[in-house]
Chains A and B, each alone.
Chain A
Amino acid sequence: MSTEENKERIELLQGTLDLLILRTLLLGPAHGHAIAKAIEFRSDDVLQVEQGSLYPALHRLIKRRWISVEEGTSENNRRAKFYQLTATGRKQLALETSKWDKLAGAIARILRPTEEG
């Protein structure tokens, strides 16, 4: 487990994408393109996901059993793969979110120390 954590700390950006995917799937199952669109839309297009990297990230999450995949039908009636959050994934999201908050808070304190005092 500890090595996994190490890895996440080092690969911060990758981990961030994972977190965003998990957060997106909290709203319900979605296919790949929808996830990419959702992330861009919900961040007011600030986060431009390189869409290609989405798929490896999805595979990584499946491998960790944080999300699962099943067949479904897309908006335009095509068969597509839908990703959805698992129970573990839900827990992980909570965990990751609080970690992220702490991290963001810490960085903010360092970058703008005056605002605190």
Chain B
Amino acid sequence: MWRRKRVLQDLDQEIRDHIAMATQDNIDRGMSPEEARNAALRKLGNVTRIKEDAREVWTVVWLEQVLQDVQFALRQLGKSPAFTVVAVLTLALGIGANTAIFSLTNALMLRPVPVRNPNTLVELLHQYPGEPAFNGFSWDAYQILRQNHVLSDLAVDSPNTFAVHGQAIEPRTVFGGFVGGTFFESLGLQPAIGRLVGSEADDLGHPVPVAVVSWSFWKNNFNSDPSMLGKQIVINDTPVTIIGVAPHGFSGLNEEMSQHVWLPLSMEPVIHDAPLGWGSVGLIGRLKPGVSLEGARTELAVLFQSAIQTPDVGPYVRKMNFVLRSASSGLSSPIRQMLHAPVLVLMAVTSLVLLLACVNLAGLFLARGASRRQEMAVRVCLGAGRLRLIRQLLTESFLLSLFGGLLGVLLAYFGGRGLLRMVTSGRDIVGLPVHAEVLARPDWRVLFFTGTITIVTAIAFGVFPGMGLSSQPASAMQQVARIGESRPRRLFGKSLIVAQVAVSTVLLSVAALFVGYLSHLRNGDLGFRRDHLLLVNLDLTHSGYDAEQWSRLSQELLMQLQALPGVLSATFSGMTPMLGAGASSFASVDGHPEVHETISINFVSPHYFDTYGTPLLSGRDLSTSDEHGPLVAIINAAIAHDFFGSRNPIGSYITLDHVTGRGNDTPTYRIIGVVADAKYNDLQQQPPRTLFLHAFQEDHFVSQLSLRATLNPESLTGVVREKVASVLKTVPIARVTTMNDQIDAAIVPERLTATLSSWFAALAALLASVGLYGLLAYSVSRRTNEIGVRMVLGATGGSVMRMVLVEALGMVGAGLVIGAPLALWSKLFATKLSPDLVANGSIWVLYGVVALAIVTLVAALIPARRASRVDPFVALRCE
């Protein structure tokens, strides 16, 4: 190092000496002193470059230059703090929004499961038209599907919840599953200790009561003590022996639903005391090398068809379609199906926001570049190369981007948590625990994504100001001397505004579309009254009551609740609207067996329709006196229409193929009343055909209590809890909520897209107006002279203001004209992702256009007013 310093120190002097000596030589040869010096300089070449080259010998020069650039850039950014803050915030919002949404996308669709060759893993499902796909076959169907030639392995993986207790284990509900003999082997998993479930799992005749537990279960319950092998735990009242621990990091094929206990499939009939019927055998497969997903689907679908065309399969199952999905990033779960479309929509929205941020910053940089042209010209004259200048500008944009990125990651972290709160505020997915926090866990993919967009962003907005820079000292100085801006640059700056307005139009229109849909869902006719309803969900699993006791106690409870002040009526039902589940069956009516359709079923007690405010159209309500009489039912208008047409259904009979949990009975009910249609399972669909059966006629244990209140329903919570506790001493309350909250919970994806897209659209409009404001303010300040001249020549303040506003209007108008068709096109994209989306004409595009026009013109008014107040004499004195 010291050599370097010593040698470099005197380089200047050395070169001066060199020039002096060369000049002297030239003079000696007979040149004039001036001529001699010029000749010497010519011969020496570019002194700056010589010095840089000499320095380069000693250093890793680019590093040194980068450090110089960074230092210089930091100074430059520090000089204009307002610019820096606006730029960093803009970037942080753009990058943060993308990071937050991407981490969701990553967890739901990209992150591979921690098993061998996740890419060839597939999941087999079936789907009833219009319903979510479901992974659950029967043992017989499994045997038929196994005869394929496209999968190297077909393994059983049936997730289940278990009530676990044992020595030193508090009774609790744990998520786990039944697995087939090839499950662990197929995934390439080795036991941490002990052994994993093997081929004994498939021998249904000889169930072996054993269990494998997860690493974290082992750690949390047994302190990672290896001697726990061979110990017993009790699962749903069946003792099983722990034979091994799954490898560290494996908790099933769905991260957000961690599994901790695995039992052999042969234990399923033992634990549930029922044969392996439809729905109980989940299947995952491995594609053979060279087999495509499409090819495998074709062959498996054929096998599936033959599996469901057997006599013991019900009509519901026969209407199923076969679905095959890649499981490389995990099995499809309700939360994944629910979030799939919203996440893709939001990904598109946030990309647009980032694009807008880039365009906005490019505009800012351009304006700033113009005001820095003098500085640039001076630097060109001092010998800086064009590349070096561009590199300097890029360093500034990279620094801004870096700060923006860092702040964005912070925003994404907190924003992501808010996002998760919203996601998890959704209705419970029956029986399945969701650990949503893993959805937000960042990994290298998220970091890589954020890093990439940060860099791309920096380049995208950083290169513009470098364009049009001249490397020739003379022309660089000429550029400074020119008062106005060059035409291409002005046009370019304007086109950036047009682009921002166009992108904002798209975002605002799409947001209006989603908000419109949400309000349509929220305010649409439900067929029942959603206000003043308190919902109490009871946990009857350990009540210990028999049907007789339950019927008596629950009616006692209803009596007491109805007597409470503030309670209009109370009722029990098997399900409440928008809870997200419900029984269904196929039904036919006497005299017309050819009409055989699927219907929804609810078990309700008397006063259900009073409580819900659903009008009784004809006939009568259920009554307590029906309890021991013949089976009766109430149908809704949809059943009456579809099954009876114009005939009067009262007094007719309706026959069900089977009712959930009733085996192969085909019970027949006399129809005693018809009620109006009401939405049942979801808000998006039309009211389904719904049959209401008497909650106390067939020994059903219905657990949903609904109360219609005269005041705020939540204020009744305390007294209702007391009543429940005093009447039903062994029944805990699982959850208390209101119908309004339950409805909100049922439309989380819609709320998510509507809320976030409105936020982003508002942000976009703000950015576009700031961009427009910035450009106009800048242009007015540059044209102060010109405006002054105009005013001296007789222009009024009003006409000057009009001039500026017309300029703004031109840009905004062009942006709107470009944006509107893009918005229409993006509607196609959105409706493709969420087919339920209803758009009323194109009115929402109009909303976007009008909103944006107003906002941007307000932004334009400020510089326009400033222009109109230019004092001509002050303006001219500036020259």
Q: Do A and B bind each other?
A: yes
Where the two chains meet, the residues of A that have a C-beta atom closer than 8 Å to any C-beta of B are 31-33, 36-37, 50-53, 55-56, 59-60, 62-63, 69, 74, 76, 78, 80-81
Which among A37, A51, A59, A78 is the interface contact of B54 at CB below 8 angstroms?
A59
Given contacts A50-B45, A60-B57, whether A55 and B25 have CB atoms under 8 Å apart is: no
Q: Are B58 and A55 in contact (CB under 8 A)?
A: no
Knowing A32-B14, A80-B14, say if A53 contacts B21 (CB, 8 Å).
no
Whether A59 pairs with B57 at a CB distance below 8 angstroms is: yes
> B481 CB to closest chain A CB, in angstroms?
32
Per CB-CB distance, the 9 closest pairs between chain A and chain B, nearest first, are A52-B45, A56-B53, A59-B57, A52-B50, A33-B21, A56-B54, A33-B18, A59-B54, A51-B44
Q: Write the nearest CB–CB distance from B549 to chain A, whole angstroms.
A: 90
Task: Using C-beta atoms within 8 Å of the partner chain, give the interface range for chain B.
Answer: 20 to 34
Q: List 12 A-B contacts (CB under 8 A).
A: A32-B14, A33-B17, A33-B21, A51-B45, A53-B53, A55-B54, A56-B54, A56-B56, A59-B54, A62-B7, A74-B17, A76-B21
Give min CB distance, B20 to chain A, whole Å.
8
Given known A33-B22, A78-B17, contact A55–B56 (CB-CB < 8 A): no
Nearest neighbor of A64 in chain B, beta-carbon distance: B57
Whose C-beta in chain B lies nearest to the C-beta of A61? B57
Q: How far is the CA of A60 from the CA of B3 in the complex (A)?
A: 12
Task: Report Cα–Cα, A81/B6, bound state, in Å.
Answer: 11
A81 near B10 with CB under 8 A, answer yes
A78 to B18, CA, bound (A): 11
Shortest B606–chain A CB gap in Å is 93
Interface membership of B625, Cβ < 8 A: no
Given A31-B14, A51-B44, A74-B17, output 5 extra A-B contacts at Cβ < 8 Å: A33-B18, A51-B18, A56-B50, A56-B53, A56-B57
Contact B7 A69 (CB under 8 A): yes
Set of chain B residues within 8 Å of A32, measured between Cβ atoms: 14, 17-18
Counted as pairs of residues, one from A and one from B, with CB atoms less than 8 Å apart, the total is 62
Nearest residue (CB) in A for B45 is: A52
B11-66 contacts to A (CB < 8 Å): 11, 14-15, 17-18, 21-22, 24-25, 43-47, 49-50, 53-54, 56-58
Q: Taking CB as reference atom, which chain B residue is nearest A32?
A: B18
- Cβ contacts under 8 Å, B24 to chain A: 76
Using CB atoms, name the residue of chain A closest to B18: A33
A60-B57, A63-B57 known; A53-B17 Cβ under 8 A: no
Contacts of A59 in B (CB 8 A): 7-8, 54, 57-58
Instruction: Please give, as numbers and ranges, the residues of chain A lying within 8 Å of B21 by CB-CB distance.
Output: 33, 74, 76
CB distance from B191 to the nearest CB of A (A): 50
A38 CB, min distance to chain B CBs, angstroms = 13
Binary CB contact string for chain B from 55 to 95 against chain A (1 if under 8 A, 0 otherwise): 01110000000000000000000000000000000000000
* CA A81 to CA B14, docked complex, whole Å: 7
Q: B residues within 8 A CB of A55? A: 11, 14-15, 50, 53-54
B158 to chain A, nearest CB (A): 61
Nearest to B57 among chain A residues (CB) is: A59
Q: How far is the CA of A5 from the CA of B448 in the complex (A)?
A: 39
Contacts of A63 in B (CB 8 A): 3-4, 57-58
Q: Which chain A residues border B6 with CB–CB below 8 Å?
A: 69
What's the nearest-Cβ distance from chain A to residue B22, in Å?
A: 6
For residue B58, which residues in chain A have a CB less than 8 angstroms away from its CB?
59, 63
CB–CB A52/B7 < 8 A: no
Q: Which residues of A contact B45 (CB under 8 A)?
A: 50-53
Set of chain B residues within 8 Å of A81, measured between Cβ atoms: 10, 14
Closest to B48 in A: A52
The minimal Cβ–Cβ distance linking B58 to chain A, given in whole angstroms, is: 7
Q: Which residue of A lies closest to B22 (CB)?
A: A33
Which of the residues B17, B49, B57 comes within 8 Å of A80, measured between beta carbons? B17
Taken together as a complex, chains A and B put the C-alpha atoms of A72 and B649 apart, in Å, by: 121
B residues in contact with A62, CB < 8 Å? 3, 7
Bound-state CA distance A63–B15 (Å) is 19
Residues in B with CB closer than 8 Å to A51 are: 18, 22, 43-45
B495 to chain A, nearest CB (A): 44
Minimum Cβ distance to chain A for residue B751 (Å)? 62
Residues of chain A contacted by B57 (CB below 8 angstroms): 56, 59-60, 63
- Taking CB atoms, residues of chain B closer than 8 Å to A60 are 57
